[in-house]
Each structure stands twice: as structure tokens, then as C-alpha cells.
Amino acid sequence: MPTIPSKKKKLLPKFEESTKGNKGEWSEFYAIVKLLSDGSLNILDRDSITDIENKLLYSVKKDNITFSFIDKNDDNIICTVFPSNESFTISKNSIRLKEGVSKLLKCIKRRGCEDKDKSSSGPFDISLAEEMASNLHISTKKSPSLEKADLTIRFQSNDTGSNPKPHDVSIKSWLGANPTLFNASLHSSRLIFKVISDQSFEALQKISNIDNRDARKAITEGMEYGIKFVFQDYADSTFKSNLEQIDVQNFIPYIALAHFSRKLNKASTSMALRESLINSHPSFDHKWKSFLQICALGMTAKSPYNIENNISDNFLVVDSQGQLCCYIGRNRLENILYDQSFIDTPSAKRHQYGYFYQKDGEIYIDLNFQVRLKPKKIKT
């Protein structure tokens, strides 16, 4: 175990000037301080058979600072700043860390700590957070989207001995809205379908037009009238190129069609999609898991994706009650994504899709979609 250094602490960068964030962004900060307070974490790793194990943490790394734990019963945390390697200690009791974590969770849930009316949406500040961040010398509450991971953790394990291996982890939280796995984009994630029909353009516009965009109505009623929707192309070649790396570029359009058709007659979960598409796509499980996985590993519709530069394939989950659990390893990641994913419908007006339009004498309709994760209750 680490020994307590005697060096004086060095002043670190001040907490972000803007302390406003949404519940998801505050969840990252909450996860860090809860890990430091608990000194342990519920882990499901590659070697686990069935049960989640609570394991002692060896260290937690956030940005340029590493927090190391001495032992389970010790109040002190060793903090090491990089690249200077200057170290100092923090007493959890002296900064009342456990009490602060409990208060922070309440503040996130009620969108602030002060007794005043809270808006139902948009970023908010938490006055308590700046004091907690200062005590812990944390300079940011949320990692940049291009970082490899939100945190790096090491935990005690029988097979790693005195030098536990590092695990980069990404944080997903259910403290706010269901977290997004794949975001819809106005220009990048739209799918273009050609409309094959003996109906006139004017007749089709009565179903869905630019003033009344209803993709579900357009697809379901269109199918009832015998309209065929033939996939033509992606609105942006970047998204298509990203999907080509895992050979799902011809599969994803069927996901969008299935979601907007009423064949599912239920929420578009992985299992509902499978039931609808497995006969026409026997490789559904493989292709859908592949898509979900690269979304979790950093793929977006907007930016070129290099499959060799994946971000973390370990998930640290914050459930709706503020409990934490970490899923270690790609197989675990695949399973939780498959079980928890569902297709969500982005705003048709904002993303400009879901209505019939003409181009070069042909009729088309664009579809769009996003993927979220269902609430996850951690069993401890």
C-alpha cells in the first residue's frame, strides 16, 4: 500500500469558472467524489461468474491528479500531481467528504442546492461543488468528449497482486434523463429513402409535410397504402464511412424503418427490434451489438472514426439512486448495451426529417434516430 508523503501541497488549477452543467455532467463530478469517499467500488469484471463484487480501490486518476488509498480503515488519501510528481494528503473526515457526497446527490436531483424555483431544463449550478472541488483539488467536472476516458481506476484483485492494472472507464448516469449512446445530428445522421408509390406527391403531403412532420405517421400510413421505402444513401458520407468499418452501413437503415413502423407495436428495444428483423437479418445480434459497441467506444455521426483509437470499453454506471457499479471488459459492455439500449425519436422539426419532399422529379423522405439507455438499477 502507498505510504503517506510529507511534501506540502501545491496549488492546482481552479475549478471551472462556469460551474453550470446538466445532470449528466454533474454526475461525472459526483462519481469522482463518491469513489474517493467510499474507497471501494462494485465491480463486474471478466473473471466474475455471476455476482457483482465490491472491491477496494487502489487509486483513481482524474486529469493530471491521481488519488491513492492507503487502506480500508485509513482516513487519508494520497494525491499526486503530474507531471511534477508532487504529493500531499487529504483527510476525508476533515473535509467531511461523506456528508458532502450525500448533499451533492440531493443537489443534483433537485437541480441546485438553494431553496428557489428551479427551471425544468437547461444547465444549473451547485454552490456546494466549488467547495468540494477545491478541497479535492479537482479542476474540471467533465472530461472533454475526445478524451480516452472519464477516469482511470485501479482496484485490488487476487490476480494483480501489489500492482493493480489500470482500467480506463467512461461514466454513464441515470440521475437525469436516460443517457444517450448515439446522438442524432441535423446534417450527419439523416437517412435518405426513395418513395416508390402510385400516389401523387400532393396526396403524400397530406400524410406528412414540412409543416406537419410526423415520421411515424408517414411510414405506417405509407406502408398501409402500399408505398415502398427504398434506402438511397446517408446524408453525410462521414457517418457512412464510420459504419463501413464494421460492415453495418446497409443494416442501420432497416433499424430506422423498423422503429418508425408500427410493426414493433412496442418500444424499440433491442429485443423488439430483433423480433421484427431477425427473419430478414439473421445476423441481427452481431450487427446491432457491433453498432452499439462502437457508439460506446466513441463513434459519432459527425466525426471520422478510427476503430483503432477506441475510448474506454469499461463503463462506470451511476444509477437513479446514486449507486455506482463498474462493468469491466468488452463482453460485459456488449451485454449491458444490448440489454439497456432502445431507439429514441429525435425532434423532427429540429433535425429536419419525417416529411415527403421532391427532388429531381423523385419523391423522398428522410429519417433520423438516436439511441438511449434504459434506467439501470444496480443490485448490491
pLDDT of 120 reads 62
Domain positions in the chain: 23-177, 182-310+330-373
What SS3 class is residue 291?
helix
Write down the pLDDT at residue 319: 87
**228 burial type by CB count under 10 A (0-12 exposed, 13-18 middle, 19+ buried):** exposed
pLDDT surpasses 60 at 144: no
pTM score, whole prediction: 0.77
Across 165-193, average pLDDT = 89
Q: What is the pLDDT of residue 7?
A: 41
Alpha-carbon distances, residue 187 vs 230, 239, 243, 247, 300 (angstroms): 20, 10, 16, 22, 12
**Residue bearing the bigger pLDDT, 101 or 176:** 101
Average pLDDT for 227-252: 96
- pLDDT at residue 72, rounded to an integer: 73
Give tens-digit pLDDT for 311-331.
667 888 898 889 998 888 777
**What's the average model confidence in pLDDT over 26-36?**
93
Residue 363: strand pairing partners:
358
Higher pLDDT, 154 or 309: 154
Q: What is the pLDDT of residue 33?
A: 94
With CA atoms as reference, report the closest residue to 365 among 217, 265, 239, 237: 217
Q: Would the CA dihedral through 329, 330, 333, 339 be positive or negative? A: negative
Give all strands of the β-sheet with 341-344 in edge-to-edge order. 180-182, 370-373, 341-344
> By the 8 A CB rule, do 21 and 15 touch?
no
Percentage of residues of the chain with pLDDT beyond 70: 83
